[in-house]
Structure 1
Amino acid sequence: MYPILLSIGSFEFRAWGLMVALGVFAGLWLVMRLAKNSEFSPEMLQEYVLYGVIAGFLGARLWEVVFSWQDYTSNPLHALMFWQGGLSIQGAVIANLLLAGWYFRRKGLSFRRFADISTPGLILGQAIGRIGCLLNGDAYGKPTTAWYGVVYQPGTSAYQAWGAMPLVPAELFEAGLDLMILAILLYIFRRKQFDGQVALTYFILYSLARFGLEFLRTDSLVFGGLKVAQMTALLTAMLASSLWLWYRKGETE
């Protein structure tokens, strides 16, 4: 894999940053298409994405630091160096849930309708972002002798952990699952029975997919002997399922 696409002096043009940027723009494009003729104007969505990207980076880094604080006790300033690795999608999503809840309620708009419009764009962005993780050599899987094993470049975190041993490309597996989830969300979007159905389906399906993928990964955050992503995935799936049933029941009564 090729984490650095181009170097100009001391400046490095990194593949991960490019793919994340492409993911943001692709996600925004899809959200704006889904929001056409709705109460969410393109200008409003563009403004929110600007705030959302900042909140996402902060939340993603905070999540990582909280669950691996022992790595930063000797030098707390390293917690600010997100470019050296350590960003979690769970933290980014939680930060944006809090931000969107505040932002759209302040404007008198439905948070649940916005969530339905935005989650297809979110999962599209995640799929593209995982390609960036593959190129960057992080979010990697365990050693394998299968034909699809990937050998990462020296200098990547995967190479530092396993050397030239072929590893399961967990990033590609997740990207594929993300695209499958996207197809399901788009199908539900035009047929939804209540506001929030698309978003809750995203949380259920992605959480279940992430729970399974964590069995393949070897770079996961661990807290108390358990993988953080698996614990939070199960809790999220259970909470989203409960809300799905509650909202569905409210529509049928």
Structure 2
Amino acid sequence: MHQILFYIGDWPIRSFGLMLSLGILAGLLTSSYVAKKQGRFFEEVLDLAFYAVIGGIIGARVWEVIFNWDYYSYHLWQIPALWNGGLSVQGSVLGGVLAVIWYCRKHRIPFWPMADILAPGLLVGQAIGRLGCFLNGCCYGIPYQHPGIVYPVGTDAYYAFGSQPLFPAVLFEAAWDVLVLTLLLKIFSRRPFDGFITLSYFILYSLGRFTLEFWRGDSLRTVMNLKVAQVTSVTTVLAALLLMYYLYKRKNDSKDRPLNSKK
């Protein structure tokens, strides 16, 4: 576990930044592969990637700063220091989604089919990014013996809990991302309607995140002693289920219209 992997001259190559970059590249390659296999939106995915990445990074940092304003209000110079970590997955998804919506509306591309193609790449990026969190020593778990990992001096985890073994929450989240990815790729060709893959991603990821938050040691608490990420996860699941019902009903209604018009 190393925050700085090596130096190029005096410039440190940080594990978090490197894994974030690899996650973005791997996610782009994954979505490009899905687009090529589906025979649609291949060029659009490559063009959209820049905007989605920028939107995701901005959203991730803004989310993190907002919910940790007590710290950043006294350390304003740390706000742009992305290489030190401090990027929220939920914020990155929100920022990325807004960028995709903007791009699709600008170029008159149907949002849900495009979102379905992007969802697998998002999961790949998240999984690799979580490995960066682990190497950086952030997003740590609560004190936990088995399984437990002792973080080295200089990490946020060590600063919070010292040399106690901590639950490796981010590694379990990365594993959950890979499991969800495998499931979504398996059912991709059999999806009942456009948007099913995307909304399934939101539901499954949020359920995993809600559960793992019970073992996170760095999350803010809010109403009913739940954590901010858990409240967001519950809200996301409910919204995704409602949208799933709406899209399913809309597709079935559209199938019925030609039959009714012939009578």
Please tell me the TM-score bracket, short chain as reference.
over 0.9
Once the two structures are TM-superposed, the CA of residue 163 in structure 1 deviates from its matched residue by 1.3
Closer/same/farther in 2, CA of residues 16 and 81 from structure 1, 3 Å limit = closer
Q: How many residues align?
A: 251
Q: Which fold has the larger relative contact order, with Cα–Cα distance below 8 Å and residues 6 or more apart in sequence?
A: 1
Separation in 2 of the partners of 1:26 and 1:73? 34
More helix by share: 2
- 3-state SS in 2 of match to 1:166: coil
- 3-state SS in 2 of match to 1:215: helix
Contact 2:210/2:230 (8 A) holds in 1: yes
1:201 is the counterpart of 2:200: yes
Separation in 2 of the partners of 1:221 and 1:10? 36
Equivalent residue for 1:247?
247
Contact 2:119/2:197 (8 A) holds in 1: yes
Contact 1:64/1:87 (8 A) holds in 2: yes
Q: Residues 85-130 of structure 1: CA distance to partner in whole angstroms, max 9, x if unpaired?
A: 3210111111111111110121111110111000011011111111
Separation in 2 of the partners of 1:68 and 1:131? 22
Equivalent residue for 1:29?
29
CA RMSD of aligned residues (A): 1.6
- The residue type paired with residue 51 of structure 1 is Y
Equivalent residue for 1:170?
169
Contact 1:67/1:222 (8 A) holds in 2: no
Separation in 1 of the partners of 2:41 and 2:4? 38
- 3-state SS in 1 of match to 2:176: helix
Once the two structures are TM-superposed, the CA of residue 181 in structure 1 deviates from its matched residue by 0.4
1:235 is the counterpart of 2:235: yes
Equivalent residue for 2:154?
155
Structure 1 stretches of 5 or more lacking a match?
Answer: none
Separation in 2 of the partners of 1:157 and 1:129? 17
After TM superposition, the structure 1 = structure 2 runs for residues 90-109 of structure 1, keeping only pairs within 5 Å, are 90-109=90-109
1:41 is the counterpart of 2:42: yes
Once the two structures are TM-superposed, the CA of residue 220 in structure 1 deviates from its matched residue by 1.2
Once the two structures are TM-superposed, the CA of residue 75 in structure 1 deviates from its matched residue by 4.3
Closer/same/farther in 2, CA of residues 239 and 130 from structure 1, 3 Å limit = same
Equivalent residue for 1:115?
115
Closer/same/farther in 2, CA of residues 136 and 76 from structure 1, 3 Å limit = closer
Structure 2 stretches of 5 or more lacking a match?
Answer: 254-263
Separation in 2 of the partners of 1:226 and 1:69? 19
1:210 is the counterpart of 2:209: yes
Contact 2:128/2:174 (8 A) holds in 1: yes
Q: Percent identity?
A: 47
Indicate the larger mover: 68-77 or 114-123. Answer: 68-77
Contact 2:16/2:83 (8 A) holds in 1: no
- 3-state SS in 2 of match to 1:214: helix
TM-score (norm 1): 0.93
Contact 2:16/2:85 (8 A) holds in 1: no
Contact 2:52/2:97 (8 A) holds in 1: no
Contact 2:60/2:90 (8 A) holds in 1: yes
Indicate the larger mover: 59-68 or 80-89. Answer: 80-89
